[in-house]
Amino acid sequence: MAEKIIVDETVSKSSAEQDIVPETGTPKAARYITKLDFRLIPFLGCCYTILFLDRTNMLIRAVANARIEGLEKGLNMPANGYNTCLWIFYIPFVLIEIPSNMIMALPRVKPNVFLGCNMIVLGIISMCQGLTHTYGGLLACRFLMGIFEATLPAGAAFLIGEYYTRKEAALRFACFFTFGVLGPCISGLLAYGIRNMNGIRSKEGWRWIFIIEGLLTIFISFFIFIFVPNFPEKTKILSGPEKAHLLEKLRADKGDQKLDIRSVNWFKTIFDYRIWVPTLMFFCCDMTAASMSSFIPTILTELGWTAAKAQAMSIPIWLTGAVFEVFGCWVSGRIHLRFPFVLMGICTAMVGWIIMNVYSNNRGMAPGVRYFSLFAMSGGTFIQMAMTTAWMTNNLRGRASVAVGTAIILGLGNCANFVASNVFVKKEAPFYPTGFKTGLGVTIAGAAFCLGYVGLLFIHNKKLDARRREHGGEDDQKEYRYVY
């Protein structure tokens, strides 16, 4: 029999417990939700910041920044060496995500220990990138980082998805992904400052980018050990009455959550269209994010700015993404709709890609217009990332489904980096016709997937409503209305 959500500790039926009512708007509920927000979002969000520091910053954007500062020359990299450094990371990253979340879902595994240990190892490997003196050594570090970094974003998203109702999840995922947006901002600042460390202890400036960001990863891991809680049914950060209320609220929203991953129909779970269509949508929007992370520093220098100014001028681009993300998801949570905001994000990103394609074809455009296109890409893509992940978890039931779903969407969904790292060919700079056309085409495909997914959910709800008019029934673990 599938295990159900239970309260680990015996909770006495005191008057204090009876005062807690199911509505989340009550003062008591609001207090413990705020407590959860401060324990979950900042520290798990740091995992996503590390993802962007070590993957898109250290391993893409910091490599791009370092590229400006002389990494390619310093390691005698071959002509295609830069692109190889980008995509080799994703081979283990994609393969490890699902097993990683399955391990984290095991009864005896504590999320704080699991994520914290992986962050420590990741930080050590990150530092090794700055210490290596060979191109082969850099590739080896990149591959190992893919293994240990795979645990962080999916594991963090998995835990967040377990603590919040469908209405609450969108804003929390937005805040979580916003920490990822902070990664490029931090990297830009670090790269701006660290580049002046060139020559200290006989090390080039680009090496200090990797070393210091690796130390930052190790530092943050200690906070993960201390502050990140266990899953809701085992949490110790809430009082007995608060935990009882949280579990009842989650049960009312999602049904009796199945915790036992041993009795799961894995074929049905892994190939669920409610996981794969959002993953395809995430893939399409991540094409924009991956392209930006890889080539913003290079593009900005090609607009006529020095390396230092290019790194500084990239920061407002990422902050725009954070504003779009949080505001859009806040409104989405209020009106309980997802697809209009995803579609809006796609159209916004499309504007940026169209400008880039016009520039690529005509090769004559004011730098300010091209700079504006990067803001459109940032705002459009990051609202999609948060909203699509929340949308997917909203329509899943059971711990195994959420674990697999968050692993697939943040693992395979990030395979867009394979595409981005290979279509922006160095010899095509600065016009990148292949890259810009591919980016626009993938973004248009994302719009098609979004509309198709809405159609599938709409048909399901129509059939369910018709069946209930005849036979009755209400939402439970197996049969429920989907959110769109």
Helices in 53-110 by DSSP H: which ranges? 62-69, 71-74, 81-87, 90-104
Residue 398 lies in a domain: yes
Domain assignment present for 408 = yes
Residue 24, domain member (yes or no)? no
pLDDT attached to residue 57: 46
Residue 361 in any domain: the answer is yes
Range of the domain at 219: 31-247+272-465
Q: Which of 289, 258, 232, 252 is nearest to 404 (CA)?
A: 258
DSSP result, 452-484: HHHHHHHHHHHHHHHHHHHH-----SSS-PPP-
Cβ(380)–Cβ(352) under 8 Å? yes
Alpha carbons 53 and 188: distance in angstroms, whole number: 10
Instruction: Burial-class residue 18 by CB neighbours within 10 Å (0-12, 13-18, 19+).
Output: exposed
Q: Would you call 358 helix, strand, or coil by DSSP?
A: helix
The owner of tokens 């020095």 is: 306
User: What secondary structure does DSSP assign to 197-260, as a single string?
Assistant: GTTGGG--HHHHHHHHHHHHHHHHHHHHHHH----GGG-SSS-HHHHHHHHHHHHHHH-S----
Q: What is the pLDDT of residue 399?
A: 85
- Residue 483 located in a structural domain: no
Residue 418: its pLDDT value, please?
77
Domain annotation covers residue 4: no
Q: What single-letter amino acid sits at 102?
A: M
> What DSSP letter does each residue of 94-111 carry, written as one string?
HHHHHHHHHHHTSTT--H
**6 assigned to some structural domain:** no
Q: Is the peptide bond before 430 cis (omega within 30 degrees of 0)?
A: yes
For 279, the 3-state DSSP assignment is helix
CATH assignment at residue 140: 1.20.1250.20
Return d(Cα 438, Cα 301) in angstroms, integer: 22
Which residue stretches of the chain have pLDDT < 70?
A: 1-30, 52-74, 79-80, 82-83, 183-185, 187-196, 198-199, 202, 204-206, 258-261, 294-295, 297-298, 307-308, 311
**Domain assignment present for 471:** no
CA nearest 302: which of 237, 346, 360?
360
Check residue 338 and give its pLDDT: 93
What is the number of domains present in the chain? 1
User: Residue type at 240?
Assistant: G
The encoded tokens of residue 214 equal 């690796």
d(Cα 230, Cα 446) in Å, to the nearest integer? 35
What pTM, to 2 d.p., does this model score?
A: 0.82
**DSSP assignment string, 394-460:** HT--SHHHHHHHHHHHHHGGGGHHHHHHHHS-GGGTTT-HHHHHHHHHHHHHHHHHHHHHHHHHHHH
- The residue type of 341 is F
